[in-house]
């Protein structure tokens, strides 16, 4: 059963100028036409580089950022159309765990006050004693002692504060929890503890997660389905294993090439793709495919003018690329003038170097000039393309 469905959601922030006459001179297209669905009991991971609109999209689901257009359907109800008071009541079933656990907690409130505030606002618990009993139950679930109730946020470690943030969401008995970078500010050992806790809570309470992160290893560990965002758009979506084993979008391929591999033999021979340039400004996104300004496979006559739609390629795998099939089959090669450098280890040939080697090995291929006195030795500089050493 689909619990959350986003249909062409857009979040555009106006850019205003002027002192006496305030006027809109443009927009920041933070989220621009994202459609996805999350099934009940599922974990949906949303990844992408900083500034791509992941957090804005998560906040838009709860209407912490108002959407410009589109539909956010939660359990059959369009949240975007709800009046403010009805939306406030609906938020009991949708909760968020924020990226900065310390910044999201009121330093003047002790933990009991922090956790009881939401319960009182939504009318949960007949009295203080009943609310306190519920809070103690949730604290036990997240691994915090009962003595934590009288303490303040600054008295806890980062991992403990994140557990408090999770507890604050759980006391309201939500159906959907949006986790915005839940472990990015934590040490690696603490990250594993928090991720395991989230999985245990999902199994015991039947929770549904929308996990926002930029760490691909974290997302793979916890997610059933992963969506990849770039410059406000969803460019690829697939089951977790399928996305990692067979990425189809050029941007996803570049992301996956940056994931460290523990096996040194595999790591030494793996192709790494570097993307040239920076993420374009969301205030002036490129026309056509949003990724075409950095894509090594782009075809100017189409990619720069026509925006690709998310297309199902089978098995729940969707990709927004005009040439995803050709790239996967190898019939479309990177443009020599547009492709970024590909870093790899000494002794391996990939990309254009492999093409050059194949051409040189063909019968009748012209032999290169021999090195004369004082010239470069055989295989040295000047004798054709050389591997790039990272």
- Tens of pLDDT, residue by residue over 272-314, are 788 888 889 999 999 999 999 999 899 988 999 999 999 999 9
Q: Is 259 within 8 Å of 217 (Cβ atoms)?
A: yes
- What's the mean pLDDT in 167-189? 92
Q: What is the CATH number of domain 2-17+24-242?
A: 3.40.50.300
Q: Is 104 within 8 Å of 98 (Cβ atoms)?
A: yes
Q: Is 23 within 8 Å of 16 (Cβ atoms)?
A: yes
- Provide the token pair at 130: 């009943």
Work out the percent of the chain whose per-residue pLDDT is above 90: 64
- What's the mean pLDDT in 147-153? 94
Give the pLDDT confidence score for residue 277 in this predicted structure: 80
Extents of the domains making up the chain: 2-17+24-242, 247-359
Backbone angles phi, psi at 367, to 5 degrees: -80, 145
The tally of CA atoms less than 13 A away on the side-chain side of residue 245 is 5
- Tens of pLDDT, residue by residue over 187-221, are 888 888 999 999 999 999 999 999 999 888 889 88
Q: Is 45 within 8 Å of 215 (Cβ atoms)?
A: no
Range of weakest confidence among 10-19, 173-182, 233-242, 257-266: 257-266
- What's the mean pLDDT in 129-156? 94
Give the pLDDT confidence score for residue 339 in this predicted structure: 52
Give the pLDDT confidence score for residue 257 in this predicted structure: 86
- Tens of pLDDT, residue by residue over 242-276, are 999 999 999 999 998 887 777 777 767 777 788 88
Give the pLDDT confidence score for residue 372 in this predicted structure: 43
- Tens of pLDDT, residue by residue over 115-141, are 999 999 999 988 899 999 999 999 999
């Amino acid at each position: 059963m689909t619990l959350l469905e986003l249909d062409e959601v857009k979040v555009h922030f106006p850019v205003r100028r002027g002192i006496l006459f305030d006027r809109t001179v443009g927009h920041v297209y933070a989220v621009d036409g994202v459609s996805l669905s999350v099934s009940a009991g599922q974990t949906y991971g949303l990844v992408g580089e900083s500034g791509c609109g992941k957090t804005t999209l998560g906040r838009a689901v709860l209407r912490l950022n108002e959407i410009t257009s589109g539909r956010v359907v939660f359990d059959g109800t369009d949240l975007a159309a709800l009046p403010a008071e009805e939306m406030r009541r609906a938020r009991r079933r949708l909760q968020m765990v924020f990226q900065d656990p310390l910044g999201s907690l009121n330093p003047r409130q002790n933990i009991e006050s922090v956790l009881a505030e939401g319960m009182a606002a939504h009318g949960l618990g007949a009295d203080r004693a009943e609310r306190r009993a519920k809070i103690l139950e949730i604290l036990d679930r997240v691994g915090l002692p009962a003595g934590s109730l009288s303490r303040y946020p600054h008295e806890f470690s980062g991992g403990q504060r994140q557990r408090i943030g999770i507890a604050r969401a759980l006391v309201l008995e939500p159906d959907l929890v949006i986790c915005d970078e839940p472990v990015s500010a934590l040490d690696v050992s603490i990250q594993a503890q928090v991720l395991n806790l989230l999985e245990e809570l999902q199994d015991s309470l039947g929770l549904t997660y929308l996990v926002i992160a930029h760490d691909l290893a974290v997302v793979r560990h916890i997610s059933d389905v992963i969506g990849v965002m770039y410059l406000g758009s969803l460019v690829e979506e697939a089951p977790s294993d399928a996305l990692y084993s067979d990425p189809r979008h050029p941007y996803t391929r570049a992301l996956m090439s940056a994931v460290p591999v523990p096996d040194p033999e595999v790591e030494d021979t793996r192709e790494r793709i570097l993307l040239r340039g920076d993420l374009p400004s969301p205030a002036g996104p490129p026309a056509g495919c949003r990724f075409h300004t950095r894509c090594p496979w782009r075809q100017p006559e189409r990619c720069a003018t026509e925006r690709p739609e998310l297309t199902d390629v089978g098995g729940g795998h969707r990709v927004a690329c005009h040439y995803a099939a050709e790239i996967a089959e190898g019939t479309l090669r990177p443009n020599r003038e547009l492709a970024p450098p590909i870093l790899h280890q000494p002794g391996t040939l990939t990309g254009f170097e492999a093409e050059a080697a194949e051409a040189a090995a063909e019968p009748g291929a012209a032999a290169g000039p021999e090195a004369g006195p004082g010239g470069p030795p055989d295989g040295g500089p000047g004798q054709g393309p050389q591997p790039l050493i990272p």
